[in-house]
Amino acid sequence: MMSSARTSSPSGGPLRVMIYSRVSTDDQAEAGISIQEQPGLVKEHLDRTFGPGRWLLVDEVKDEGLSGSYGPTIFDHVDSVAGAPRRGRKWRPSLERVFRAIKNDEIDAVAVYTLSRLYREPLAQLNFIDQMLKPRGMLLISAKESVDIYSASGRFQANILAAAAGFQRESSNDNVKDIIRRRKESGLWHGQCPYGWRFPTLSEQEAGYPKTIKAIPEQLDHVKLVAKLYLEGHSEQSIARRLNDEGVPFFMKKTVNGSRQTSWDFQKVRILLRNPAHAGMVQLGNGELIRGYHYEQRAFDLETYQAIQSAGRDRRRRYRGVRSERPEMLLSGIAMCASCGGKLMVRYTDNQRSYTCRGLRNEALSRHVRVDADTLEKAVLHEVEKLATSPELLRQAAQRIGEQAGHEARESKAKLEKLRERKTALDQQRSNAVRQLREDVLSAEDYKELRKQIEAEETYVVDQIGSLEQALAGSYDSERLEKRALAALKDFPLLWSNLKPCERAELMRSAIEELVIGDEHACALMKLKLHLMPVVCLRLPRLVASREREKASGIEAITLSELAALWHLLEGKRPTEGALAMGISKSTFSSFTSRAAQRLGEDSPLIAARKARTLIKQVEHLLPLNHVKRKRRHKRNDLTAFERVVLDRSRVGGSHQEIADALGAPIAKVATGLVSAQAKLLKENM
């Protein structure tokens, strides 16, 4: 043992020790060492190592049922007074107490039953030793392994033990995942028991009932009612309100004072509707649905379940209120970073809106993307409109649709013809088998076996024929819809001007196949691929925030307004004419041109304009060349989306209760919204 390690407290008293214990379900089943037995075994080891009375138990902490992969780690901030775990991070509160005791120098050693009780990951365990214990001269004591963390051989042994613990954890996880997968593939339900079902009792399992869920008839009636109301158009909130008004209880919740009934809400209704258990199905890891053992007790069939999911997707596409007017929804989540493949999301910096990659910046490999939002949106819309109005491109797209649909149809028809021939051959085999049975060529047992094989193959062939016929019908429908979409592209500018921001975002998601933004020093390289259209590559000015622009230089630091001023100089306009076209003053126009020349390292703005000619021509359609009047700001008396809907429904004779049920809102909110809408209209007409 090195002299830097403590064998007693700083005051010369006994060694201050904190015992940490942890157990998870898998560990308890494997090793058989419960969380109650670990502290006793650690104390016996301390008495044998240091002798009775030579060590002092400061505290004894336990984390029960928590994985060794949970935090905190040395990279997590643990406050000395009250630790605050990171948001969304799984946490071990007792290990956090160990961290605080080490930082406050309250102990001299941490004692565990095995090193795997601290961490299962080798890197986390070694970081804890190197950066928490060794700088403070503290000991790490294990009752099962004799490890000296201050010697080279001890560190080597700790590395091996940590690697073995990590391997054991990963192997256990793989085994558990395999067991769950096999249970699901055999049709057994795995996971939390959903509403309307229960797990079988011990007597039912002994009687031969499989270990899967069993229906509760009275609760399944409520499930059928929820599905019926949802398909009729009722919202999740209105369904929950109706169930609560009728006194239908949800699961019983156990509390300290006893069990109590819990009420319904829209989240519980949504979870119920999305659960495939009510259709008698089990969902595999790849999303495939198969029949479960509880299929005969289902609440509704698979077609009803699929109709519910389709209705839910359609309803979630309709944005309401303020969300439907948010401009940053246009390309958020659609554009991708060329460096790391991450999605570009909207970020506001210095009153500027930009699309930014959230990936970690690694200057040695690549530069992540940050591009001005208005510039990117204008560029995408300009290219989409140009593609939509190009007769040659539309003709090529229509030709590709016909070729693709014709090729798929020919292949499907060939397969369908072979399957029909096989079905005819199976019918002939059945007739021959019947004839051979009558002539005593086949015995009754051989005939039954042969007929069983023929029927099984015939069932498969009939299913394949039905699926191919359905695919052929769907290909004809998709071909017709794609041709209609191409015909509608001619009216794209008119269509775009009449859409709401949320509808524009949905249109972009359905039209764009790929949108990748890469960083190319002074520019952002945009790669746009629309469905059935060729790839378009375009260079855009890369955004530099105003607080960074003061330090930046070169063409990448020039703003769009400064590029527009240089464009007017290239066109031979005087500063007065350029300022008039841009709707700014002459001094502001001169400031734009002088700043651009300064960043390009030129004395003359005209020379700077010629130097940036290539970039200016590439982004000419994005520049604010002409003065555009500002849009009217939102007035206080304008109707909100909710008030407009309530007013429209009341005008057609809908009552407060009917409007509340249709919108899933309280009656009081409907009445208040109607009064507010009528007051605004009255004030506007005065």
Dump the DSSP string for 477-505: HHHHHHHHHHHHGGGHHHHHHTS-HHHHH
pLDDT of residue 630: 46
Helix (H) / strand (E) element for 60: namely: strand 55-64
Whether the per-residue pLDDT at 523 is higher than 90: the answer is no
- DSSP annotation of 132: I
Calculate the average pLDDT of the chain: 77
Q: What is the Cα–Cα distance from 193 to 453, expressed in whole angstroms?
A: 39
Whether the per-residue pLDDT at 206 is higher than 90: the answer is no
Q: What is the Cα–Cα distance from 135 to 657, expressed in whole angstroms?
A: 69
Q: How confident is the model at residue 489 (pLDDT cuts 50, 70, 90)?
A: low
pLDDT of residue 151: 79
Region label for 182, one of left (φ > 0), alpha (ψ between -120 and 50) or beta (otherwise): alpha
Whether the per-residue pLDDT at 84 is higher than 50: the answer is no
Q: What is the Cα–Cα distance from 423 to 465, expressed in whole angstroms?
A: 10
Helix (H) / strand (E) element for 518: namely: strand 512-520
What average pLDDT does range 515-542 have in this prediction? 75
Q: How confident is the model at residue 83 (pLDDT cuts 50, 70, 90)?
A: very low
Q: What is the Cα–Cα distance from 124 to 71, expressed in whole angstroms?
A: 10
pTM exceeds 0.85, yes or no: no
Q: How confident is the model at residue 205 (pLDDT cuts 50, 70, 90)?
A: confident
Whether the per-residue pLDDT at 365 is higher than 80: the answer is no
What average pLDDT does range 560-567 have in this prediction? 85
Q: How confident is the model at residue 42 (pLDDT cuts 50, 70, 90)?
A: very high
pLDDT of residue 252: 59
**Helices (H), ranges, 264-301:** 266-274
pLDDT of residue 184: 85
Q: How confident is the model at residue 403 (pLDDT cuts 50, 70, 90)?
A: low
Structure-model confidence comparison of residues 330 and 20, the more confident one: 20
Q: What is the Cα–Cα distance from 517 to 377, expressed in whole angstroms?
A: 12
Residue type, 320: R
pLDDT of residue 492: 67
pLDDT of residue 420: 83
DSSP β-ladder status, 289-291 and 281-283: antiparallel
Of 136-140, 154-158, 501-505, 526-530, highest mean pLDDT: 136-140
pLDDT tens digits along 624-673: 777 655 444 445 556 777 888 888 888 877 788 888 877 777 888 888 88
Least confident of 12-21, 424-433, 472-481: 472-481
Ordered strands of the 370-372 beta sheet = 344-349, 352-357, 370-372
For 686, how many CA atoms within 13 A lie in the half-sphere containing its CB? 7
Whether the per-residue pLDDT at 255 is higher than 70: the answer is no
Termini Cα distance of the chain: 91
Ordered strands of the 15-23 beta sheet = 55-64, 15-23, 109-112, 139-142
Q: Which residue, among 675, 619, 608, has the nearest Cα to 647 in the 3D structure? A: 675
**Three-state secondary structure call for residue 19:** strand
pLDDT of residue 615: 75
**CA dihedral sign of residues 181, 183, 186, 191:** negative
Helix (H) / strand (E) element for 680: namely: helix 667-685
Residue type, 115: L
Whether the per-residue pLDDT at 18 is higher than 90: the answer is yes
Least confident of 355-359, 400-404, 458-462, 560-564: 400-404
Whether the per-residue pLDDT at 175 is higher than 90: the answer is no
Q: What is the Cα–Cα distance from 458 to 419, expressed in whole angstroms?
A: 10
What average pLDDT does range 22-27 have in this prediction? 69
Buried b (16+ CB within 10 A) or exposed e, 174-188: eeeeeeeeebbeebb
pLDDT of residue 361: 47
- DSSP annotation of 364: T
Dump the DSSP string for 546-603: HHHHTT--SGGG--HHHHHHHHHHHTT--HHHHHHHHTS-HHHHHHHHHHHHHHTT-S
Structure-model confidence comparison of residues 635 and 136, the more confident one: 136
CA distances from 514 to 374, 382, 395, 510 (A): 19, 16, 21, 11
For a pLDDT cut of 90, what percent of the chain falls above it?
A: 9
Reported residue count of the chain is 686
pLDDT tens digits along 609-621: 888 887 787 777 7
Least confident of 306-315, 328-337, 398-407, 418-427: 398-407
Residue type, 679: A
What average pLDDT does range 72-98 have in this prediction? 68
What average pLDDT does range 174-185 have in this prediction? 82
Structure-model confidence comparison of residues 483 and 234, the more confident one: 234
Whether the per-residue pLDDT at 192 is higher than 90: the answer is no
Whether the per-residue pLDDT at 390 is higher than 80: the answer is no
Structure-model confidence comparison of residues 116 and 325, the more confident one: 116
What average pLDDT does range 364-392 have in this prediction? 72
Q: Which residue, among 149, 108, 132, 134, has the nearest Cα to 13 in the 3D structure? A: 108
Assess contact for 351 and 522: CB atoms under 8 A: no
Q: How confident is the model at residue 522 (pLDDT cuts 50, 70, 90)?
A: low
Assess contact for 99 and 107: CB atoms under 8 A: no
Whether the per-residue pLDDT at 262 is higher than 70: the answer is yes
Q: What is the Cα–Cα distance from 526 to 379, expressed in whole angstroms?
A: 9
pLDDT of residue 370: 74
Whether the per-residue pLDDT at 114 is higher than 90: the answer is no
pLDDT of residue 633: 46
pLDDT of residue 225: 92
Assess contact for 33 and 40: CB atoms under 8 A: no
Q: How confident is the model at residue 224 (pLDDT cuts 50, 70, 90)?
A: very high
Q: What is the Cα–Cα distance from 537 to 131, expressed in whole angstroms?
A: 49
pLDDT of residue 342: 79
Residue 636, token pair as written in the block: 């206080």
Q: Which residue, among 289, 297, 164, 316, has the nearest Cα to 223 in the 3D structure? A: 297
Whether the per-residue pLDDT at 322 is higher than 50: the answer is no
Assess contact for 497 and 482: CB atoms under 8 A: no
pLDDT of residue 178: 82
pLDDT of residue 253: 59
**CA dihedral sign of residues 186, 192, 197, 198:** positive
**Three-state secondary structure call for residue 145:** coil
Q: How confident is the model at residue 82 (pLDDT cuts 50, 70, 90)?
A: very low
- What share of residues in the chain are helix, strand, coil (percent, to 5)? 55, 15, 30
pLDDT of residue 553: 58
What average pLDDT does range 22-42 have in this prediction? 72
Q: Which residues contact 533 (CB under 8 A, 6 or more apart)?
A: 387, 393, 397
Q: Which residues contact 397 (CB under 8 A, 6 or more apart)?
A: 486, 532, 533
Assess contact for 90 and 71: CB atoms under 8 A: yes
pLDDT of residue 474: 56
* Long-range Cβ pairs for the range 601-607 (8 Å, 24+): 601/553, 605/565, 605/566, 605/569, 606/569
Structure-model confidence comparison of residues 65 and 196, the more confident one: 196
Q: How confident is the model at residue 428 (pLDDT cuts 50, 70, 90)?
A: confident
